[in-house]
Amino acid sequence: MNEFRERLLQLYLEHGVDGVLADPSLVERAMERPMRELQTERAFQEADTLLKLLGLHVRHGITAMRTDASLIEKAFQLPQSELAKSSLYQDANTLVSETAKFVESRAAQLNQPDVRLRLSECLKVALNRATFWRGSRLLQEAKFGVLRDYFILKFGQEWTPAQRQHFDVLIEFIQLWKIYFLSYTNRQPRAINKRFEQVISFYVDPDKIGKRDAGKDNILADALLNRLNSLNLTGGFFDKVEIQPGYLLSPTVQAAAGSSFYLLQIVQPETFMVEPPPNHCYEEYELFEGFGEQILAQWQRYREIFRKRFCALLTHDRLEIVVPPMMPYEYELWKHRIFVEARFEVLPTDPAEFNELARKVAAAVCNLQNELIEAVP
């Protein structure tokens, strides 16, 4: 987001659209440049057009904006016929009007009696949009940015500085994070594929099974992904190409492990094998934890919630089968997190029970997202 847009957003928040339009010197002072110079820059034109339209829609509502052309013409000092020739205006107007229409359709959800509730509902709406929007990444980013700014202009004046910080932090998480990272190992997968053969046959498409090698690929991970997708938990990271025993984690996998809200890790006897190095599951856990600690260095108030962002999915109910008699000292915190803090579930081999467990896991992820969102100061 360009600097012009952030400064203009703050102006519209402080003075309202009527105040900014009535006194152009406000913009000049904020930008520390004369308007005639600013208007020659494309980045300013884009930000100015977008913020004017956002301010007008927040102030007057979608119905008035569609029926009263004078609102637009007065703000832009141009007739609608001239504005219609500008692709910059048309693109911005489409984004803003679609956003305003959607937000107004959620009025019953957003018009809560309490400021903290209103703020958390804004974030829940943003999460829903980020989860289910489709289209190019650039278009999704543009839509999300407009939604963010709309909420700030609509509700931001009632937020305390701490509440605005909560909104800014969470809105960035929502936009940039994967919902979950599915960690698993391809080490000696034949036994696990055999143990969960019925689950795999129920929940992995035959054509996908045909592309897998039961002696090299952990197909149980495909079955779990299928169930999570069926529950609309579609914003996760799952890799079947770059996670191979003996190879270093790719930058793509590292980045995803370090920028996911929740870590789901299939844990089987081979998960703790040290040969051949590296152990991807351990590295993914470390990346996930390290990223969380970086966030918590600034936002300690979220620590208790962050400690819940991990769940191991055990392939056996007898822990002595899963846990080897010896492990490197480096694995101690990882092992403690799973087995002492009891951050685990046992994956059933029965397809119906497996499906119910997937539903329980998906609900846990969604509930924790809401818990973080609702932690409004």
SS3 262: strand
CA pair distance 319, 316, nearest whole angstrom:
7
In the predicted structure, residue 212 carries a pLDDT above the cut 60: yes
pLDDT at residue 249 is higher than 80: no
Q: Is the pLDDT of residue 314 over 60?
A: yes
Per residue in 53-85, pLDDT (tens digit) is 999 999 999 999 999 999 999 999 999 999 999
Residue 266's nearest CA partner among 195, 316, 212, 204 is: 316
pLDDT in tens, 253-301: 889 988 999 999 999 999 999 998 999 999 999 999 999 999 999 999 9
Q: Report helix, strand or coil for 59.
A: helix
**Tens digits of residue pLDDT in 135-186:** 888 999 999 999 999 999 999 999 999 999 999 999 999 999 999 999 999 9
CATH code given to domain 178-373: 3.40.50
Domain ranges within the chain, ordered by starting residue: 3-161, 178-373
Residue 102: burial class (beta carbons within 10 Å; 0-12, 13-18, 19+): middle
Residue 251 has pLDDT above 80, yes or no: yes
What gap in Å lies between CA 262 and CA 259, rounded to an integer?
Answer: 9
Give this prediction's pTM.
0.93
HSE-CB at 365 with a 13 A cutoff on CA atoms is 27
Q: Is the peptide bond before 348 cis (omega within 30 degrees of 0)?
A: no
Indicate whether 357 pLDDT > 70. yes
pLDDT (0 to 100) of residue 243: 54
* pLDDT score for 370: 97
Q: At what angle do helices 351-373 and 219-230 cross, to 10 degrees?
A: 60
pLDDT band at 247 (very low <50, low <70, confident <90, very high): low
Please give the pLDDT value at position 245: 54
Q: What is the pLDDT of residue 240?
A: 73
The CA-atom distances, in angstroms, between 187 and each of 216, 269, 272 are 7, 10, 10
Adjacent-strand bridge partners of 344 = 312
Length of the chain equals 377
For the chain, give the mean pLDDT. 94
Output phi, psi for 273, to 5 deg. Answer: -65, 135
| Confidence class for position 244, pLDDT limits 50, 70, 90 | low
CA–CA dist 92, 46 (Å, integer): 8
> Could you count the other beta carbons within 10 Å of the beta carbon of residue 183?
30
